[in-house]
Structure 1
Amino acid sequence: MALQPIPRDARLYIAGHRGLVGSALWRHFAGCGFHNLVGRTSTELDLRDQVATTAFFTETRPDVVIAAAAKVGGIAANANRPTEYLSDNLRIQVNLLDCAVAAGVERFLFLGSSCIYPKYADQPIREDALLTGALEETNEGYAIAKIAGIAQIAAIRRQHGLRYISAMPASLYGPGDNFHLHNSHVLPALIRRFHEAAREDSDHVTCWGTGKARREFLHVDDLAQACHFLLDNYDEDQPINVGTGSDLTIAELAHLVAGVVGYRGEIRWDTDKPDGTPRKVLDVQRLSRLGWKASTPLDQGVQATYEWYRAQQGAHPT
């Protein structure tokens, strides 16, 4: 049977609706007229708790679930606390998926990460590169958890015939990001570092690694649009990549951020710190053939993200 667009009155549960991805999903679906959105904060519902998660699904009976809840962090956080990134994410995923099946949820979108792919995968990375090589060591725990989620989606489709799908986004950024200097991903960390350097009139900023690693960045609002598109148009076992299909070096990114912030000092590189995967850009041909592509240019997205960050600093100075 052909897929039908999700009706606007569907009960749509966005797991992790206060996070970077979840808040973008909430904005998108609310803006599209969905009036039966469901969300719970982590204090209201600990998704690692099977009993609590089961009770929540029994009470709310969602029609559609988007799994945007996860324990996430940058290189340092993943490398220093790998047990948490493996264990917490496994429990969140298993509870969400098991409870969704038991509650009769018809549609489920599991969001993974581009870190599921091998460290030295051919570039751009196609979906069939999954499990063909060793992972990047600094985020292996998180990646393995996400790979397990993909496997569970495929198993549910085979055993239960449910239209559950998984999507793998490129590195994300946008309003609502985590700007912690040590626990955030590269782009928000750079925004904060250059912002503070400009404010303090520092003569230089030191960034991790060599600056030669290449990365792809996707605005979180583009991802939210893609998730809606996929729920309406995609129904296959294999995960599907979501990205822009283009990348740049971390050094180029640093100069872009410095320009947006207005910082004119020297940029130095601490080569004793890791670069992570040498290059990571997704092959997005399958999604393009379906009819979707990202629309936010990186420079405009970084500018808007910086403006959001500055507004938050004004409201909550650090």
Structure 2
Amino acid sequence: MQKSTKIYIAGHNGMVGNAIWRTLTSKGYTNLLGVSSKELDLKNQQAVKDFFAIEKPEVVIDAAAKVGGILANNNFPYQFLMENMQIQNNLIDAALQSSVEKFIFLGSSCIYPKLAPQPLKEEYLLTDSLEPTNEWYAIAKITGVKACQAIRNQFGKDYVSLMPTNLYGTHDNFDLNSSHVLPAMMRKFHEAKENNNAAVTLWGSGTPMREFLFVDDMAEAVVFALENKLPEYLYNVGTGEDLTIKQLAETIQKITGYQGEIIWDSSKPDGTPRKLMDISKMQALGWKHQVQLEEGIQKTYTWFIENIENVKEIKL
């Protein structure tokens, strides 16, 4: 991979895309391409085709998606299914038609069955039913993985899919109606601390186990896939370590300095009981995460405080 290779990062303003952009820049890549959703509607097939015809990217990294937590997925199932399929299908097909040789598709660990054996291996894909609270998003991402696999098989192009575990970090979405569990907790604890340590209510029982990866580590995994030709079509990306949601809450509580009461609302859904990634395939190739959870949460909270005036408006 040449440092001057023209690399299009779809979704470069989002948390993941922003981290990929920063990481590539720090490594000396000089020909990065990114356009905002206002400039290019990725759901518009013709607009995407025209963009590829004009810009002629050599590599495409698809970090663009409509994302959200359990609440958002429950409330907007059609949008999570259709908009994600439109975005990825337009990008993948335009890349194929434009002779793009390398495409990196980013998905999510929710593509695996709800009750699959732990830790989750790549070969568990499509072996059982999905978690109902995010199946719409998962189905969309599965179609993206399969589209890239089909192109790889049929046309011999280096199209690879990376499935990250739960990501968090700077430039995250802190909107309480659409954010994931870690940034939502961070904002709730911070605002409660500012409000004389008022009690904080969190969803579920706190017993489900989750794995979290700092977004800069995900960006490093993308660069690893960029600079190497990975032999298989699908790879998990994570830490290989998990903790309970209650332990996560206690860690964030400590870092934010919140000293109030945590109330667990067990009438709200827990989601999948456990979701730990088997990352042995990526590790065997030479990639491993570097940032430990507490360090990553501290970095995220520092960024959150520094950007507190704008953080409520930050949405992917």
Structure-2-length-normalised TM-score: 0.97
Where do residues 191-206 of structure 1 align in structure 2 (5 Å cutoff)? 191-206=186-201
Whether contact under 8 Å (2:174, 2:311) holds in the other structure is no
| 1:266 positional shift | 1.4
- In structure 1, the residue matched to 2:206 is 211
> Which of 233, 238, 241 is equivalent to 2:233?
238
- In structure 2, the residue matched to 1:121 is 116
Distance 1:315 1:160 in 2: 45
Listed one character per residue, the Cα deviations across residues 210-249 of structure 1 (whole Å, up to 9, x for unaligned) are 0000000000000000111112224334310000000000
Distance 1:77 1:317 in 2: 16
Whether contact under 8 Å (1:118, 1:135) holds in the other structure is yes
Letter in 2 for 1:46: D
- Secondary structure of the corresponding residue to residue 248 of structure 2: helix
> What number of residue pairs does the alignment pair up?
313
Whether contact under 8 Å (1:63, 1:106) holds in the other structure is yes
- In structure 2, the residue matched to 1:55 is 50
- In structure 1, the residue matched to 2:182 is 187
1:291 aligns with 2:276: no
- In structure 2, the residue matched to 1:225 is 220
Deviates most, 233-242 or 273-282: 233-242
Letter in 2 for 1:111: L
| 1:182 positional shift | 1.9
- Secondary structure of the corresponding residue to residue 101 of structure 1: helix
Letter in 1 for 2:307: Q
Whether contact under 8 Å (1:65, 1:109) holds in the other structure is yes
Distance 1:29 1:13 in 2: 12
1:169 aligns with 2:164: yes
- Secondary structure of the corresponding residue to residue 166 of structure 1: strand
Listed one character per residue, the Cα deviations across residues 23-56 of structure 1 (whole Å, up to 9, x for unaligned) are 0000000111111000010000001001100000
Ranges in structure 1 where 5+ consecutive residues have no aligned partner: 1-5
- Secondary structure of the corresponding residue to residue 54 of structure 2: helix
Distance 1:71 1:247 in 2: 25
| 1:264 positional shift | 1.1
Distance 2:202 2:188 in 1: 9
Where do residues 41-52 of structure 1 align in structure 2 (5 Å cutoff)? 41-52=36-47
Structure-1-length-normalised TM-score: 0.96
Distance 1:303 1:289 in 2: 29
- In structure 2, the residue matched to 1:157 is 152
| 1:316 positional shift | 6.5
Where do residues 239-254 of structure 1 align in structure 2 (5 Å cutoff)? 239-254=234-249
- In structure 1, the residue matched to 2:81 is 86
Distance 1:237 1:156 in 2: 13
- Secondary structure of the corresponding residue to residue 307 of structure 2: helix
Letter in 1 for 2:192: A
- Secondary structure of the corresponding residue to residue 313 of structure 1: coil
* Aligned-residue CA RMSD (Å): 1.2
- Secondary structure of the corresponding residue to residue 9 of structure 2: strand
Distance 1:205 1:252 in 2: 15
Identity %: 51
